[in-house]
Amino acid sequence: MATAQTKETTYIGVSKPRVDVREKVTGAAVYTDDIQFGAALLHARVKRSPHPHALIKKVDISKAKELPGVRVVVTGQDFPYFTGLYLKDRNIFARDRVRFVGEAVAGVAAITEEIAEQALDLIEVEYEVLPGVFDAVKGAEPGAPLLHPNLGDYEVPNFIFPVPDSNIANHFKVRKGDVETAFAEAATVVEHTFKVPHVQHVPIEPHIAIAQVDGDGNVTLWASSQSPFAQRNLIAKSLNIPESKVRVIAPLIGGGFGCKAGVTMETIPVAIAMKAGGHPVKFRLTREEEFYTNFVRQGLTAKVKVACDKNGKLTAIQNQMWWDGGGYTDYGVNITRAGGYSGTGPFNAPNIWVDSMCIYTNHPVGGAYRGFGMSEVHTGIVQVMSMLAEKAGVDFVDFLKMNVIQEGEKVLTGMTMHKTGIKDCIEKVAKEINWGVKDAPTAPNRKRGKGIAVMWKAPAMPPNAGSSALIKLNEDASVTVMVGGQEIGQGTFTAMAQIAAEAMGVPFESVKVKGPIDTQYSPYEWQTVASRLTWSMGNAVRNAAMDARHKILEVVAEAWGEDIENLDIKEGYVISYASEESISLKDIVVYGIPREGYNGWVGGPIVGSGSFMPSYVTGLDKETGQGDRAVVHYTTGAQAVDLEVDLDTGQLYIHRAVSAFDVGKAINPDLVRCQIEGGFVQGMSSAIFEEMRLVEGVMQNPSFVDYRIATTMDVPAKIDAYIVEAAQDDGPWGARGVGEHPMVPTIPCLANAIYDAIGVRVPNPPLSAEKVYLTMLDNGVVK
């Protein structure tokens, strides 16, 4: 085989061969980073804790440093700073103790990944094993082993409420009315405790990042990231360097679902690169590491009690939630907050009591996951409402329409509810599923049932999370849109192009949204989370487009001597309603327009800028959770399924799924339907198959062999998606987000349908065939 032609070139102080890519790909697997960085690239691996909770007595790295090919070895002693998005409770590498299996204790960078792995075996760590906390409810009790004795000293924003000298990292409360009296006087009361397990995001692309630090201390990070600007901020603070010296570049990513929000593993290659003398450092999580060393969806135990009067009208809701936050809760505390201010689900009652507590445990670290806690919250609250309706003798659809929140009513935190189409959503899915009609099963060994569920979700974010956008026009009248929000498969770049085209009056085909996101050049965006980009970044893009449009019209008005109010832009042409003149945007948006007789010029390159930040979100009282406006808005919806249960195996056969969501205004209806369909499938996967099996803090199923996710074979033959539009007052053309919401009601929807089919409730996911069958066996449904 012919060898590649090479020549020597200097690269960051080392000699690297430059290889012709076309010839190199004929050999071993070639990665883009190998081509970009060449032989200078170092590969990082991490020494991880085998214990869920232990003191670190000694870390000896001397043997690892002597291994040929090893360039850098670091420990927690090299980086004493704390980091975290909402609660600064963790170091880059553990310093005094480890708090979950897989926590990073030391890092190695070597010329190959294999050598780095060998070096890990040479690092000697002496531990003193401590008692662990493996149950959130028990962890919240007085006397439980304290995992963070210094909790009271951690830095937190003013809307997170840790309880010092406990494992309660955040305690969000809502107190409204008198629940005790309401329960005592109610016609019907139902109470039940629900448990939702940890699950993994399992993106097809695992976490990967490459960091490089130059001689002036400037950091460049290439990362698979939903949050490049948040990463820039957090990495700078965790390493005590200015934000201006940190640059994050985030190409398109292969799935996120929340696990690539905030900062998780990305600080590790940056920290190592700071000691690497200019070498770029690559760190890639293996699939096993992806399962339990990075963000997971938190587990939840929820004790829900509800009451109604003789007509089925809700009188009281009590929801006590213990969130299993894991060893660190820097992101998880805000999930707890979101669970608290949404703790009633989309239901209205005069008397409400909510406790939402984020508990430190010795489980993997909980973080953002599609739905941000709402799937977990709705698992209990919607099922218990179904139980209450049945006990009160009220049809569940009638019960829902009677008790869901409506425009003008006060939500649990005291905020006045905006316009919502939730009743339309309920009616749509109930009609489509033929609610109230008991259909015959398709086989004698099956039972058939229907279920319905409702949901709401607000963007969970700080009160001042902002967006910005830039719009540049080119000589050929094409439009370049620059944003800081990430494209993660949800179609946000398409939606932003549509918004820009509509606001400017140019053809959609002429608009391009440019990537990758680069904090050095892209305009600021808080994070690509919370289903907020269509609303927040969409407003920024619209404002930037309107700014560019106004500048163009000003130029033409001056050149033509016309009133700007008589001018418009249609299909890339400026037209005058007064003189009926028109002119193409080509050239004039860069070169301007000559004055009469070419006596000077008007205009010049057109660049539009726009930003958006909600200014009206208020703080909430620490003890009551009451305030004028807790959130920017709620997206609401409903879902229904028609399924069968196999009496011989417990397997579920979903014939049809129907979803309807109020999106305010669908900027791109096809993309909205895709989100609704995909959300149901992911919700179904987490409802039926997914569970991180944790024993004493150790995950028993960290691979796709034992961790089951839905495939195309599991998808129902018919999934229907319906769009309801009750316009949001501050959204672009009334739009609000719908990216996460379609998977929120799926667990209770399926659980309600199973109950309707077999007459026995299987309340806690996963609703696996084994669990369904054993429940039927235990309750005499089958023998």
740 is catalytic: yes
Closest CA to 589 of 504, 468, 499, 500: 504
Asked if 272 and 109 count as a contact pair (C-beta separation under 8 A), the reply is: yes
**Bridge-based pairing state of the strands 718-724 and 652-662:** parallel
**Neighbouring residues of 609: CB distance < 8 A, sequence distance ≥ 6:** 468, 469, 470, 471, 523, 544, 547
d(CA 239, CA 447): 59
Strand-pair partners of 601: 594
* Cα–Cα nearest to 634, from 716, 736, 754: 736
Closest CA to 782 of 596, 650, 600: 650
Classify 512 as helix, strand or coil: strand
In the 8-state DSSP scheme, what is residue 733? G
The closest alpha carbon to 290, from 701, 690, 702, 705, belongs to 702
Catalytic residue among 290, 509, 740, 770: 740
Distance between CA atoms of 767 and 688, rounded to whole angstroms? 4
d(CA 154, CA 547): 43
Distance (Å, rounded) from C-alpha 117 to C-alpha 301?
Answer: 38
Question: Where does residue 614 fall: left (phi above 0), alpha (psi -120 to 50 degrees), or beta otherwise?
Answer: beta
Give the bridge partners for 719, in sequence order: 657
Show the CA angle centred on residue 510, arms to residues 505 and 515, nearest 5°. 115
Q: How far is CA 657 from the centre of its chain?
A: 24
Residue type, 297: R
C-alpha distance from residue 230 to each of 253, 271, 391 (Å): 16, 17, 48
Q: What span, in angstroms and rounded, lies between the C-alpha atoms of 298 and 733?
A: 35
Question: DSSP letters of 14-63?
Answer: EEEEEE-HHHHTTSS---HHHHHHGGG-EEEEEEE-SSSSEEEEEEE-HH
The SS3 call for residue 519 is coil
H helix or E strand, kind and range, residue 669:
helix 669-688
Query: Which residues does the annotation mark as catalytic?
Result: 740
